[in-house]
Amino acid sequence: MRTINIPFGRSFQLKVILLLVLSLFFIATLSNYLIYKFSYDAQFNQLRDKLKVIAQTAALFVDADTLAQVPMTKDGVNSQAYKTIAEKLRAIKRVNPPIKYIYTMAKTDKEGIWQFVVDPEPLVNGITSYPGDKFNATRYTEIAKAFFGPAADTKLETDQWGVFLSGYAPIRDKTGKAIAMLGVDVAADDVYAFQKGIKQRGFLVLLLGVFISIFLGMLISKSITNPINELVEGTYHISEGDLRYRVRVRTSDEIGELARSFNQMSENLFDVRKKLLDYFYRIAQSLVRILEAKDQYTRGHSERVADFAEKIAIKMGFPKDKIDLLKEAALLHDIGKIGIKESILNKEGKLTPEEWDTIQKHPIIGEDIIKPVSISEEMLAIVRGHHERYDGGGYPDKINGENINIFTAIVSVADAYDAMTSPRAYRPALTREDSLKQLNINRGSQFHPEVVDTLIEILKTER
Distance CA 66, CA 64 (A): 6
Of 11-19, 200-208, 214-222, 329-337, which segment contacts Fe ion by CB under 5 A?
A: 329-337
| Residues 332-351 as x/- pattern, contact with Fe ion by CB under 5 A | --x-----------------
DSSP three-state, residue 424: strand
Q: Residue 142 or 334: which CB sits closer to Fe ion?
A: 334
Q: Residue 119 or 334: which CB sits closer to Fe ion?
A: 334
Q: Residue 76 or 363: which CB sits closer to Fe ion?
A: 363
Q: Exposed, middle or buried by CB within 10 Å (0-12, 13-18, 19+), for 169?
A: buried
Which CA distances in Å does 102 have to 77, 80, 127, 314?
Answer: 16, 19, 13, 110
CB of 294 to Fe ion, least distance (A): 15
Q: Exposed e or buried b for every residue in 392-420, given b needs 16+ CB within 10 A?
A: eebbebebeeeebbbbbbbbbbbbbbbbb
185 closest CA partner among 110, 129, 112:
129
- DSSP 8-state assignment for residue 39: I
Contact between 152 and 142 under an 8 Å Cβ cutoff? The reply is yes
Q: Binding-site residue total for Fe ion (CB under 5 A)?
A: 1
Distance CA 421, CA 414 (A): 11
CB of 337 to Fe ion, least distance (A): 7
CB of 415 to Fe ion, least distance (A): 6
- Residue at shortest CB range from Fe ion: 334
| Residues 64-83 as x/- pattern, contact with Fe ion by CB under 5 A | --------------------
104 closest CA partner among 89, 92, 83:
89
Of 90-98, 172-180, 201-209, 331-339, which segment contacts Fe ion by CB under 5 A?
A: 331-339
CB of 312 to Fe ion, least distance (A): 17
Q: Residue 63 or 355: which CB sits closer to Fe ion?
A: 355
Q: Residue 217 or 336: which CB sits closer to Fe ion?
A: 336
Q: Residue 310 or 334: which CB sits closer to Fe ion?
A: 334
Q: Residue 334 or 418: which CB sits closer to Fe ion?
A: 334
| Residues 27-66 as x/- pattern, contact with Fe ion by CB under 5 A | ----------------------------------------
292 near Fe ion, judged by CB under 5 A: no
Helices 406-421 and 320-331, interaxial angle, to 10°? Answer: 50
Q: Residue 292 or 334: which CB sits closer to Fe ion?
A: 334
**Cα-based angle 223, 227, 230 (whole degrees, multiple of 5):** 145
CB of 334 to Fe ion, least distance (A): 4
Which CA distances in Å does 117 have to 57, 75, 114, 128, 432?
Answer: 19, 12, 10, 11, 139
Q: List interacting residues with Fe ion (CB under 5 A).
A: 334
